[in-house]
Every structure is written in C-alpha cells, then in structure tokens.
Structure 1
Amino acid sequence: MARDSFRKSLGYALSGLAYALRTQPNMRFHFGAALVVVAVALLLGVGVRDFLFILFAIILVVIAEMFNTAVETVVNLYTNKYHPLARVAKDVAAGAVLLAALNSMVVGLLVFYPYLHAFVRYWARSLGGVN
C-alpha cells in the first residue's frame, strides 16, 4: 500500500518535472547550461567538494524555476485579466530565479577559476610559452 502511494507520488513529481521541461524555455536553457557545466567540471577534474557546490547551485536554479512555473500557473488559473497583485506574484517568483541564477554564476566562477587557471598554465607551458 505504501509502495503504491510512493510510486504515485514519484510519478506526479516526474510529471511536473517533465511538464516544466516541455513547456518552459527557461527550464530547458537551465538544463542545457547545467549539462555543459557538468561536462566541463568532469573534463577539468573538479574535486568532489567543488562538484557538490556546483551541483547544489544547479539544483537551486532548477527548483526556483519550477516554483516560478507553479506560481505563474496558479496565477493564470485564478485570473486571465491584469491585476497588480498577480504581476507582483509573478515578478517575485521570477526574481527568485534570477537570484538563484546569479548565485550559480558566482559559485561557478569561484569553483572553476583555479581549475581553469591551472589548465591555461599547463597548456601555455606545454606549448613553450609562459611559465
């Protein structure tokens, strides 16, 4: 009985994730960017702790985007006319996504800088350039 309930809940959650990916261009962009970032992290040999920072930043953006989608959907369900409070709800949810995305950029810069710096120095030395 509990297993069936868990399976249904998991199905609903996966359905929500699929809906967001299928209908929200920004969600697809975030997922694409996440794949690129994870690939670069793997290519550069980012350490486990640093990789966790990157993963948490990515997941925070995805969660924020999903909440934004949920807020927009509920507001649209409630009213199809302009209302200043509807605009506020949508703008605040979008602001949360923006903050999460900016956070992920800062995390990415802080995590990737030493790896990229070492990578550039390695290639410069191997090409007979600067030490």
Structure 2
Amino acid sequence: MPMDSKDKRTAKNKHFIASLEFALQGIKTVFKEERNMRTHTLMGIAAIIVGFVLRLVISEWLWLLLAIFLVLVMEIINTVFENVVDMVTDFHFHPIGKKIKDMAAGAVLLTTGFAVVVGVLLFVPKIWQILQDFL
C-alpha cells in the first residue's frame, strides 16, 4: 500500500556521524533563522574576549562559559518551542500557543539575566581594580 506524505515515518538514527550531522544542521538553522541567536553569540564572543583581556582564572572561565552556553542552549530550546507551536497552529493565533511561546521567551530572559549577573560579578571587580591602579 503506497504511503502519502502524511504517512511517512522516520526511523531512529543509529549512526553517530549521521546524528552529529543532524545536530550541526540544527545549530546552523537556528543561526541562520534567529537574529537573537546571532546576537547572543556575538555577546558571548565579546565576553570571552574580555575574559582574556582581564585574565580570568579557571573557576571564572567555568562560570563565564556556563552562562554563555546556557543562554545559547535556551535560545535553541525557545526556537524549538516557537517552531512546534507554529507547526501545530499552522501559524494561526492560539492562546495556549501564545502562553507556550511567552514562557519559552521568559526562560531565555531569565537565563540571559543570569549571564549578565555572572558577567558583572566577574568583570566589574577586575575593571574597578584596573581603574584604581590607573588613578
């Protein structure tokens, strides 16, 4: 019996290389389609550069990298929720879809707030010390 497009099934991928390719394609897609992902990445790169300039120690690097990667992962998860809601609602407004999107965006906001706090705690004392030494 022939299958139409709605009957197509996908099998679980069992090959590591294929799984890796799919994951990389997902990351490429979110970078291509989501301006916020590109913004978060640029801010993360800027924070890493500042970390090198201010000579962070290993424990500080761990906090900084954790904060950066949490924001990036949360942005990917937010994008997943947005896409699933759009797919299910066929891009029509639905109050539950709005709640889902708002909550996912709230998770990104909270994570970004955490990253800002980490950045302030890491960078401000070091910048303050440089200013005191200079003056």
The TM-score with structure 2 as length reference comes to: 0.86
Give the aligned partner of residue 125 of structure 2: 114
Deviation at 1:26, TM superposition (A): 0.3
SS at match of 2:56: coil
The one-letter amino acid paired with 2:97 is A
SS at match of 1:62: helix
Give the aligned partner of residue 123 of structure 1: 134
Residues 12-59 of structure 1 show CA distances to partners (whole Å, capped at 9, x for unaligned) of 111111111111000000000001000000011011110110100000
Identity %: 35
Give the aligned partner of residue 116 of structure 2: 105
Determine if the alignment matches structure 1 residue 89 to structure 2 residue 95: no
Counterpart selection for 2:74 from 61, 64, 71: 64
Q: Which one has a larger percent helix, Structure 1 or Structure 2?
A: 1
Give the aligned partner of residue 127 of structure 1: none
Q: How many residues align?
A: 121
Structure 2 Cα separation of the partners of residues 122 and 47 of structure 1: 20
SS at match of 2:100: helix
> Structure 2 stretches of 5 or more lacking a match?
1-13
The TM-score with structure 1 as length reference comes to: 0.89
Counterpart selection for 1:8 from 18, 26, 33: 18
8 Å contact kept, 1:46–1:115:
no
SS at match of 2:42: helix
SS at match of 1:108: helix
Give the aligned partner of residue 23 of structure 1: 33
Deviation at 1:120, TM superposition (A): 1.2
Moved over 3 A (4+): none
Give the aligned partner of residue 63 of structure 2: 53
> Structure 1 stretches of 5 or more lacking a match?
125-131
